[in-house]
Structures are given as C-alpha cells and as structure tokens.
C-alpha cells in the first residue's frame, strides 16, 4: 500500500518501544522518486520481461518502496534474469524451493532441531564428535524469545530425545560445531526490531544460516553473516526465497569471510581501500600510517557487514539497494545460474553486446574505463568507506592522535550518515580515482 509522500520507512520495520537509542531512519518514501508498486508493475511486459534500465534509475533516485523490496532485490542480486518470463521465473522459484527443502531435510536428519521451530545457543558436540549431553542452553528470559531446546520433564535440556549420537563424519562434525555460534549470533541480530520478538522468525534465521553453513564447505558460517541474512527474512515471506537471496548476496561477499592461517578475506579490500586513499587523499593516508593504522583495520566492520552498524535498519536497506542498482550487471544471472540454463542463455545472447543502458551507473563507468578487461572491478563499498574517510579527513588530521581517536571519530557517524549522499560521494571518488590511477 502506498503511503503519504515523505513517509519515513521506520513504520515498516518497527523498533521495540523500550529501545530508545536506536538511530532514526532518514530514508523517506517520496512519491515520484521512490520505486512504487505501480511503477514496478508497469516495468514488466505482459509476458514478464522487466525493463531493468528504468528500474535502476528509479532506485538510484529514491530507493524502493518497502512493500516490494523483497521482489526487487531478487532481481538486483541476480536471482532472476530481467529477460525471463513470469512462467520461467516461477519454474526456477519452485525448483529452488525444492532444492532448499532437500538440503534442510539433510541437515534435519543429522540434527533434528533444524526445521523444528527451535534453535540452539550452546555447544552440542565436542571436536571429536562426542555429544555433549547437558549443554547450557539459552535461559528462558522471555517465552517469546524461545530457547534452543525446551526442558524435558525433569527440567534438563532435552538433547538425548533429539537423537544425538557420536558423529564420525568430519564435515558433519565441523558443521555441528558451528550451530551454537549461529544461535548466539541470531539472538543478538537486530534485537531492537519487533519482528524478532517472535521465536519463529529467530528460528527461521537460524535454519537458513545452518543450511548455508552445510552447503558452503569452503567458508561455512562466520560472524557477520547473520547481519547480512536478517533483512532477507524480513523482506521475503517464504524461507526458501529468503535463503536464495542470501545465497546470491554471499556469492558477492563470501571472499570477505574466507580465512586462511595467515589472513582474513576482507584484508584484500582493506588494502584496496588504503591504495585508493593514498591516491585520493595522500595527506590523510600518511597520517593514518603514522598512527599505525596503515592496515585500515578500523574499517573492517564497515566492509564486512556492509554498513549495517553505521546506519539505522531502514537506511542500511536503502543503501544496499542503491549500491546494487549502481553496480548492476545484466550478466549476473548468467554467472549465477545452473550451468545448463546459463549456457542456453549465453547461446541466446551470442553476438548481442551487453547494453550499457542495462547496467548500473557504477558498472558503466568501469566498462568505459576498461576495468573489466584486466581484473574484476572493485566493489562500490570500498569507495563508500573512502568517501566517509574523505568526509572526516579534516577532523581526523586535526584531532586523531592515536588509533583510538580514529575509531571514536568514525563511530560518531553512526546514525548520522545519509545513504544517498554516501553513494553520490562514492561515485565521485570512483571517477576521480580512475582518472588519477590512469595518470599514474
């Protein structure tokens, strides 16, 4: 339902009344600018083909109306090809829902709490696969919050009743060791929102992350993923659809979570951030190096969970959709789809050059500068952080006498950032960087 022009989005993502220090959402639904239900429906032909270029420019002007956010994101994240019909998309949706159900059943066979409407917050297995018979589970502080496993008739944690036995399979052990960590993160994620007062929503988030950890054997589960997954649960009613939206987002970001003995995945982005700042604001870069912050670890969180902590919930969603609209590449679907479907589509599009009009502004800039020819372009998120640093450059140069000061100055931006301005700043810096990088 369309609301009054200028309505803040907070009314869609209700905050619990006792949480008074939560940043207010700046994003306003603006008639004529925000992608409305009517404009979204009008962007499809009778067969279901989507005019993606008009959609992208509308999102960049005023974001997406909260009531259609979930379905728009499915396109922005590459779940569906704009050049597909309603019927083709429905077939893909049903196929994916069945695949998710199979994976979930697999997980449930190993650990019956998956899919039960409950979740765990305490370890249930040792590193050598032995069940921990009496785990300390989440205390019953509020019946609506729910606990991992309800007490049995004797008041103990009902683990034996869930059929937990010695586990020998290494992959299964590794997976089960992460389940309580997922539970601990789930109860901390977006806890100010009314939505997560319902146990069914908490367990849905736990289930999706548990299934993802099982299928992504390379990365598994890491802290921060719950922050990226949470909006999908809120925006998409069907759990399987929310899972696939999260899975598509992880394809972009999983490199951030990949850890080796010597490095964390996000370090590559931090070193790119350092290189950009050195080109754009050499004085600030030098100052940060002098303070011992040349590794830019103070920006770790911004990149890891895409500014979820720096913006209100509503504003972080607005920021994400603008970033994805700017970065949009019509080849996304081909990259992500099952091999046989992708090769059919690739065959159909042979000889057709990728239209710049169908790409987001940021992607067009990269194409124009030939960034694609040598290596994958840097994500816009790095330029967003660079624009925040540029904005705080004077303050950092004058007031930061140590890394604690840098962190304090950057923490002050929480709730005070304007998502649209941040994206505009990132685009300007990107252009400036490409020009200067060419010269050097």
Residue 395 contacts by C-beta under 8 Å, 6 or more apart in sequence? 409
Question: Please, are residues 202 and 196 in contact by the beta-carbon 8 Å criterion?
Answer: yes
- In this prediction, residue 140 carries a pLDDT of 26
Residue with tokens 């020009």: 435
Question: Please, are residues 193 and 16 in contact by the beta-carbon 8 Å criterion?
Answer: yes
- In this prediction, residue 145 carries a pLDDT of 41
Question: Please, are residues 383 and 433 in contact by the beta-carbon 8 Å criterion?
Answer: yes
Residue with tokens 């502004």: 361
Question: Please, are residues 129 and 102 in contact by the beta-carbon 8 Å criterion?
Answer: no
Report d(CA 212, CA 207) in Å as an integer.
9
Question: In this structure, what token pair is assigned to residue 428?
Answer: 């300007």
Say how far residue 379 (Cα) sits from the centre of its chain: 13
- In this prediction, residue 231 carries a pLDDT of 97
- In this prediction, residue 164 carries a pLDDT of 66
Q: What is the pTM of this model?
A: 0.88
- Please give the biggest Cα pair distance in the chain: 74
- Secondary structure of residue 131 in the 3-state scheme: strand
- Secondary structure of residue 147 in the 3-state scheme: coil
Residue 275 contacts by C-beta under 8 Å, 6 or more apart in sequence? none
- In this prediction, residue 296 carries a pLDDT of 93
Q: Roughly how many angstroms between the first and final C-alpha of the chain, as a whole number? A: 52
Residue 164 contacts by C-beta under 8 Å, 6 or more apart in sequence? 111, 124, 125, 131
Question: Please, are residues 243 and 210 in contact by the beta-carbon 8 Å criterion?
Answer: no
Report d(CA 37, CA 408) in Å as an integer.
41
Question: Please, are residues 270 and 236 in contact by the beta-carbon 8 Å criterion?
Answer: no
- In this prediction, residue 374 carries a pLDDT of 47
List the chain residues with pLDDT less than 70.
1-8, 10, 133-164, 260-264, 333-356, 370-376, 440
Question: In this structure, what token pair is assigned to residue 54?
Answer: 């008009």
320-374 pLDDT tens trace: 999 999 999 988 766 665 544 444 554 454 444 456 678 888 888 888 876 544 4
- In this prediction, residue 257 carries a pLDDT of 87
402: left (phi over 0), alpha (psi -120 to 50) or beta: beta
- In this prediction, residue 2 carries a pLDDT of 43
- In this prediction, residue 79 carries a pLDDT of 95
Q: Can you spell out the DSSP letters for 39-71?
A: HHHHTB-TT--B-HHHHHHHHHHH-B-GGGHHH
Question: In this structure, what token pair is assigned to residue 218?
Answer: 């390379």
245-266 pLDDT tens trace: 999 999 999 888 887 666 667 8
Report d(CA 367, CA 373) in Å as an integer.
9
- Secondary structure of residue 309 in the 3-state scheme: coil
């Amino acid at each position: 339902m369309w609301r009054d022009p200028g309505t803040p989005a907070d009314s869609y993502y209700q905050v619990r009344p006792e949480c008074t220090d939560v940043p207010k959402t700046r994003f306003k639904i603006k008639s004529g600018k925000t992608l409305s239900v009517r404009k979204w429906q009008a962007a499809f032909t009778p067969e279901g083909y989507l005019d993606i270029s008009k959609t992208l420019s509308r999102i960049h002007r005023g974001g997406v109306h909260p009531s259609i956010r979930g379905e728009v994101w499915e396109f922005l994240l590459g779940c569906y090809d704009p050049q597909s019909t309603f019927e083709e998309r429905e077939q893909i949706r049903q196929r994916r829902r069945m695949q998710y159900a199979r994976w979930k059943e697999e997980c449930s066979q190993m650990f019956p709490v998956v899919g039960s409407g409950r979740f765990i917050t305490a370890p249930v297995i040792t590193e050598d696969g032995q069940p921990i018979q009496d785990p300390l589970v989440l205390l019953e502080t509020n019946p609506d919050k729910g606990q991992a496993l309800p007490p049995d008739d004797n008041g103990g944690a009902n683990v034996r009743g869930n059929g937990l036995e010695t586990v020998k399979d290494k992959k299964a052990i590794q997976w089960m060791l992460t389940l309580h960590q997922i539970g601990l993160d789930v109860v901390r994620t977006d806890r100010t929102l009314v939505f997560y007062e319902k146990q069914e929503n908490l367990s849905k988030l736990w289930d999706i992350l548990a299934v993802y950890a099982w299928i992504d054997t390379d990365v598994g589960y890491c802290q921060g993923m719950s922050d990226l997954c949470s909006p999908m649960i809120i925006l998409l009613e069907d759990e399987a659809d929310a899972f696939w939206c999260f899975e598509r987002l992880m394809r972009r970001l999983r490199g951030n979570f990949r850890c080796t003995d010597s490095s964390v995945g996000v370090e590559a982005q931090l070193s790119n951030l350092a290189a950009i700042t050195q080109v754009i604001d050499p004085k600030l870069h030098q100052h940060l190096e002098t303070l011992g912050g040349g590794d830019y670890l103070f920006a770790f969180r911004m990149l890891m969970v895409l500014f979820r902590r720096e913006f209100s919930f509503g504003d972080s969603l607005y920021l994400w959709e603008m970033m994805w609209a700017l970065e949009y590449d019509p080849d996304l679907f081909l990259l992500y789809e099952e091999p046989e479907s992708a090769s059919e589509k690739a065959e159909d599009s042979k000889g057709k050059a990728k239209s710049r009009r169908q790409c987001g502004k940021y992607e067009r800039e990269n194409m124009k500068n030939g960034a694609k020819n040598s290596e994958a372009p840097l994500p816009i998120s790095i330029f967003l952080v660079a624009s925040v640093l540029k904005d705080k450059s004077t303050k950092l140069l004058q007031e930061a006498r140590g890394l604690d000061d840098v962190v304090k100055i950057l923490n002050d931006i929480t709730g005070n950032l304007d998502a649209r301005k941040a994206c505009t700043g990132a685009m300007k810096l990107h252009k400036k960087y490409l020009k200067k990088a060419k010269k050097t």
